[in-house]
């Protein structure tokens, strides 16, 4: 379901002032007449429950990470089908912290979305997602802006730190790093700091942009950054999620035309703020972000991360 389709439904928005931290949210959803359909999002458009369809009443439970002192919930449905909400401070939950750029971050404005926004819906309430990613950041600037420090203030033993950078490390400005030297050096800081806290670092290779050659195959625009990350993962004995390789297969499967549904492509008039339409070959639609999150979860299971036990169904 795209954001545009969701907005055609009724929307119920709720906000609760709470201290920062992790919360277990239970929602009772349904229609006693036999049909119900609803999507639940939390905080900045994070997908928590994807299109519940059931007969009668259904209880769904998820873990939500709160920063900023307010838990926000949004319910999208054809009718007001929310029957009850219960919010409690979480006990022992595993937290996946994410450090990265705009391809991962909680995008506040449609039609954009990052895969970190879609990740919560794949996990049980035993896992909370703390998405600290931010647009325009590289391995270097994320640290210089104090964002890694913010993660280290709360990350604990048994948590995870997922790290995906590359798109901005290749920019020829103050964010720049070199693949086999400063890029690897910066990534080692994330690895070492996570391990110092007893957390588990996970490197995520940056996904491809939407650029195809004359034969309709994806062109690598990321230089040696993905390979440098693979090399470092081997050297440091770190789990690697190869989203670069997975995204190449996905994009080649969809092809030059089909991938437009994965990226931010819109015709004139589709969105009020973009009367001339949009063509973005780097950032993702909600559908594309969901597909990338699905690939991340697929790798979690294939690589044998202990997190796999908390993946839904």
Q: Is 102 a catalytic residue?
A: yes
Q: Is 283 a catalytic residue?
A: yes
Among 102, 141, 247, 285, the active-site one is: 102
Cα R_g (the chain), whole angstroms: 19
Among 247, 283, 291, 299, the active-site one is: 283
Among 59, 196, 235, 279, the active-site one is: 279
Work out whether the CA dihedral 133, 18, 310, 287 comes out positive or negative. Answer: negative
What stretches of the chain show up as alpha helix (H) in DSSP? Answer: 3-7, 115-118, 139-144, 147-152, 184-196, 225-236, 243-258, 286-302
Q: Are 160 and 190 in contact (CB under 8 A)?
A: no
d(CA 309, CA 313): 10
Question: Nearest Cα to 175, choosing from 136, 149, 205?
Answer: 136
**224: its two tokens:** 């040696």
In degrees and rounded to multiples of 5, residue 296 shows phi and psi of: -60, -45
Which residues are annotated as catalytic?
Answer: 102, 279, 283
């Amino acid at each position: 379901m795209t954001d545009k389709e969701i907005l055609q439904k009724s929307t119920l928005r709720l906000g609760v002032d709470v201290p920062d931290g992790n919360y277990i949210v239970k929602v009772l959803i349904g229609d006693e007449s036999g049909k119900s359909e609803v999507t639940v999002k939390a905080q900045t458009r994070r997908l928590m429950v994807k299109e519940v369809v059931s007969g009668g009443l259904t209880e769904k439970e998820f873990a939500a990470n709160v920063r900023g002192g307010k838990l926000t919930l949004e319910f999208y449905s054809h009718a007001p089908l929310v029957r009850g909400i219960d919010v409690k401070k979480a006990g022992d939950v595993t937290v996946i912290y994410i450090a990265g750029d705009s391809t991962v971050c909680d995008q506040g404005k449609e039609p954009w979305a990052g895969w970190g926004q879609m990740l919560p819906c794949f996990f049980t309430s035993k896992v909370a997602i703390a998405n600290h990613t931010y647009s325009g950041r590289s391995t270097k600037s994320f640290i210089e802006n104090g964002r890694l420090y913010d993660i280290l203030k709360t990350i604990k033993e048994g948590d995870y730190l997922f790290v995906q950078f590359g798109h901005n490390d290749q920019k020829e400005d103050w964010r720049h790093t070199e693949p086999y030297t400063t890029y690897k050096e910066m990534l080692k800081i994330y690895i070492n700091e996570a391990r110092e806290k007893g957390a588990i670092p996970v490197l995520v290779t940056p996904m491809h942009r939407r650029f195809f050659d004359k034969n309709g195959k994806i062109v690598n625009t990321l230089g040696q950054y993905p390979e440098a990350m693979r090399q470092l993962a081997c050297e440091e004995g770190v789990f690697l999620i190869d989203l670069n390789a997975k995204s190449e297969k996905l994009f080649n499967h969809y092809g030059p035309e089909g991938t437009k549904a994965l990226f931010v492509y819109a015709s004139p008039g589709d969105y009020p703020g973009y009367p001339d339409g949009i063509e973005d070959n780097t950032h993702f639609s909600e559908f594309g972000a969901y597909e990338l999150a699905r690939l991340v979860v697929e790798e979690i299971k294939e690589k044998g991360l202990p997190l796999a036990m908390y993946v839904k169904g």
